Amino acid sequence: MRVLHISDHADPLATPGGEFCGGQNVYVRELARRLAGSGCTVDVVTRWADGRLARREPIAPGARTVRVPAGPIGPLPRERFGEVLDEFCEGVVGLHKEAGGYDVVHSHYWYSAVAALRLGDRHQVPLVHTHHSLGAVRRAALGRDAADEAGEHFAARHRIERRIGLRAAAVVASSPGELTDLQQLLGTPRHTLHVVPPGVDTAVLTPRDRALARAELGLPADVPVVLFVGRLEQRKGWEDLVPAFALVRRALPGAVLVVVGGEAPERRTGRGPLAALVERHGLTGSVDLRGPVPHQATARYYSAANVTAVPSHYEPFGLVAVESMACGTPVVATRVGGLRWSVADPRVGVLVPPRNPASLAKALVDVLTSGAAERRQACLDRATSVYGAERWVDGIRAIYHRVADPRVTAAGAQ
């Protein structure tokens, strides 16, 4: 089976945690790699955002990234992607023609949906879509002023998200909560919806010896370590985490906060907003800013930590929480989006209200001071039983076969 993945801004080979790189990059790369390992041929088309990278680059045997020019080659914030969207769409259509067509097209995020819809209007090809986030939910999570300022953007996004939901042969939801949102907010037909939670690569994300991991990372051996992994954008909640960690330090004076993500240390030209907030709360010396790291290196950080904080204001799924659990490290997360489901078991962590540093701090202290061994085992059990990569890829591949073969679809409807 020949599969095209459209991932407009999320290059599967970019390093997660940077300014525009996060969970979608990891999701698309791992899905492509594992689908290729199961016998599919996979192309991932993305915008060419880094001139240092090749136009075409292998991900794994049978899977490759194809970067198409759309506007000047270089980084482009997602909110400006509309400026180059027509050029990107034509690049996707051109790749389809060059490749001689695909059996299935799987788009990721709403800009990619525009390209998929244009391709579907010109060629008979089954469309599968994964939203990764929903405009209506994200808008509600923003402050009122920011949401109003971006009103036209969200209106256009809503129209496209609704249209792809009605046009696609299948829509993949990451959690039962997202499935409900898709039905209620977008009117996506129930028969096209499939809940397939993302999986984690337990060959990479696996528990390491904590003492060894800390020694390799240069972290103190005998203090509580709180970990944050993600982009340093407002919705990730880092502005809540810093004052929360100041409260944690009152209860546990030796605690350290490690931040993986944001700008690489060697590229910083001055004090960023996170460093300024750390200084304002008197935390200089107890907050360790590591910048983005390659995905294969994150297991060492998860294993070194006592708890991972995921204080997002909005999180469609929350892959960081699952990755942490796969390494045996419990999670304190906000009760939003997919986190409400992935961290629902109180044995693997604690859910707290968003934008509430006091509740976040209390939960972090509770996890840091109780039940370490029990939580570790519960995390490992949940990660392997619910979020195994094989289960994830089997689910996606079954959807592809269903939409690509009308006989399978007809049989399923009987």
The two beta strands, 193-195 and 170-173, are parallel
Distance CA 55, CA 65 (A): 8
**DSSP-derived secondary structure for 31-98:** HHHHHHHTT-EEEEEEE---TTS-SEEEEETTEEEEEE--SSSS---GGGGGGGHHHHHHHHHHHHHH
Q: Does residue 176 register a pLDDT over 50?
A: yes
- CA dist 368 and 110 (Å) reads 39
| Backbone angles phi and psi of 199, in degrees to 5 | -105, 165
**179-228 tens-digit pLDDT:** 999 999 999 999 999 999 999 988 889 999 999 999 999 999 999 999 99
With CA atoms as reference, report the closest residue to 232 among 179, 290, 177, 180.
Answer: 290
Q: Which of 52, 53, 43 is nearest to 95 (CA)?
A: 43
Residues 61-105 pLDDT 10s = 999 999 999 999 998 887 889 999 999 999 999 999 999 999 999
Residue-wise pLDDT for 313-352, tens only, equals 988 888 999 999 999 999 999 999 899 999 999 999 999 9
Helix (H, G, I), strand (E, B) or coil at 149: helix
Are 183 and 136 in contact by the 8 Å Cβ rule? The answer is no
| Cα–Cα dist 164/90, whole Å | 18
Cα–Cα distance for residue pair 133/349, rounded to 1 Å: 23
pLDDT digits (tens, 9 = 90+) for 109-135: 999 999 999 999 999 999 999 999 999
pLDDT > 90 in the chain, percent:
79
The type of residue at 3 is V
Which residues face 309 on adjacent strands? 332
Domains detected in the chain: 2-199+389-413 (3.40.50.2000), 210-386 (3.40.50.2000)
304 contacts 207 by C-beta, under 8 angstroms? no
pLDDT > 70? residue 243: yes
Mean pLDDT across the chain: 92
Beta carbons of 333 and 325 less than 8 angstroms apart = no
- State how far the alpha carbon of 309 is from the alpha carbons of 171, 241, 365, in Å: 30, 8, 11
